[in-house]
Amino acid sequence: MKHSFPVTLTTHPKQKPADENNLGFARFFTDHMFLMDYDEGQGWHDGRIVPYEPLSIDPGSSVLHYAQMMFEGMKAYRRPDGRLQIFRPDMNVKRMSRTAERMCIPDLPEGVLVDAIEALLRVDADWMPKTPGTSMYIRPFIFGDEISFSAVAVDHYRFVIIIAPTGAYYGSFTGKLSASRIYVQDKYIRAAKGGTGYAKVGGNYGGAMRAARDAKAANCKDVLWLDAAEHKYVEEIGTCNAFFRINNEVYTASLDSGTILPGITRDSVIQLLKSWNIPVHEGKLALADVLKASEDGSLQEIFASGTAAVISPIGSLTFEGKDYQVADGQCGELADRLYNTLYGIQTGRIEDTMGWTHQFDIVVE
């Protein structure tokens, strides 16, 4: 069933960014947003598009005290023919459902997420950037706003979608990926078995900020997380999934532990690697083996994958005051191929033989 939503247009449109080469990441938000409410006994209701404005929330709302919330991250891309499309939204729907179950948040009705995104993009289509390397970032989120100091799931929630014209995540798009220096974090952890590591919730990110500050102090771009139990095995890089290419085989952490976020880009990378007949292993990889591979020259590449940056190559790791270089310290050939293929599919510049894209009948000339 296709959902339709009433629209209230803004009477005070914002000034759009003048320079699409300087958009940054989610610095500017469009004129409108999507809202929907949930009440126990009534379910999700009153989906609508309204002018973008601050949300009114009572100081006693449960989310401000117990963090019962969740979010997603997606992008809309402009194809060469001007049509807008999104990438693997079915995967976002499935991940939202898993996160909602973990956080005791009611699941959205089937089709609501994609229909709401389409409606919002249609209203704010004139905000869609056209410069290479740009996209429209989409942030759906749900939070419990019932006034309650009881540490239990509440009976009222709000579902919101906001969108932002966005440039390259790590700076200006030049067509060439630059490699980052990463700090190996062996004190703090991102997630533990039985926790919320596999769910997309704000607490996972807020709790990581202390480690990110350590990385910045060490002149590193981000953190390589180790497992919580033994601080021995590599898991994620910052807010992204991590991949290691050693002796022409690729390794990434398994989802089985429940500590790894099931990234849509991660799954896409694995499928592409298999289609290219490149061996890929999902399982435990010891940090010691990565460092040894750096020293003996068998470590060919490390890269991170995620919605925001797509593919981010890693040039070196810093651990216990020592730098371990990854090959020549530059973007590797596999990371470059993966980025060009994924970004090409996402933007419609490469044929989507995987069936990953979802096109809308929205054209931006």
d(CA 248, CA 250): 7
**Does 344 map to a domain?**
no
Asked if pLDDT for residue 5 goes beyond 60, the answer is: yes
Reported confidence tier of residue 91, pLDDT bands at 50, 70, 90: very high
Ranges of H-type helices in the chain: 63-66, 89-102, 112-123, 202-206, 209-217, 264-275, 287-296, 333-346
Count structural domains, the chain.
2
Pair 153, 208 in one domain: no
- The CATH number for 229's domain is 3.20.10.10
Asked if pLDDT for residue 26 goes beyond 70, the answer is: yes
Extract the runs of DSSP E, i.e. beta strands, from the chain. 32-39, 43-51, 69-71, 74-78, 83-87, 135-144, 156-166, 180-185, 222-226, 234-237, 240-246, 249-252, 280-282, 299-306, 310-319, 322-325, 357-363
d(CA 292, CA 360): 48
Pair 217, 162 in one domain: no
User: So what's the pLDDT on residue 171?
Assistant: 47
pLDDT, one tens digit per residue, over 214-272 is 999 999 999 999 999 999 999 999 999 999 999 999 999 999 999 999 999 999 999 99
Asked if pLDDT for residue 364 goes beyond 70, the answer is: yes
Average pLDDT in the chain: 96
**Does 149 map to a domain?**
yes
User: So what's the pLDDT on residue 170?
Assistant: 55
Pair 198, 220 in one domain: yes
User: So what's the pLDDT on residue 176?
Assistant: 67
Only one residue has tokens 């990463």, namely: 182
Reported confidence tier of residue 69, pLDDT bands at 50, 70, 90: very high
**Does 10 map to a domain?**
no
Q: Which domain holds residue 123?
A: 20-173+356-363
The pTM of the full predicted model, rounded to 2 decimals, is 0.96
User: So what's the pLDDT on residue 172?
Assistant: 41
**Does 339 map to a domain?**
no
Pair 149, 278 in one domain: no
**Does 186 map to a domain?**
yes
Pair 111, 228 in one domain: no
SS3 state at 344: helix
Pick from 170, 137, 153: which is nearest to 311 by CA? Answer: 170
Reported confidence tier of residue 173, pLDDT bands at 50, 70, 90: very low
User: So what's the pLDDT on residue 284?
Assistant: 97
**Does 2 map to a domain?**
no
In the chain, the percentage of residues whose pLDDT exceeds 70 is 98
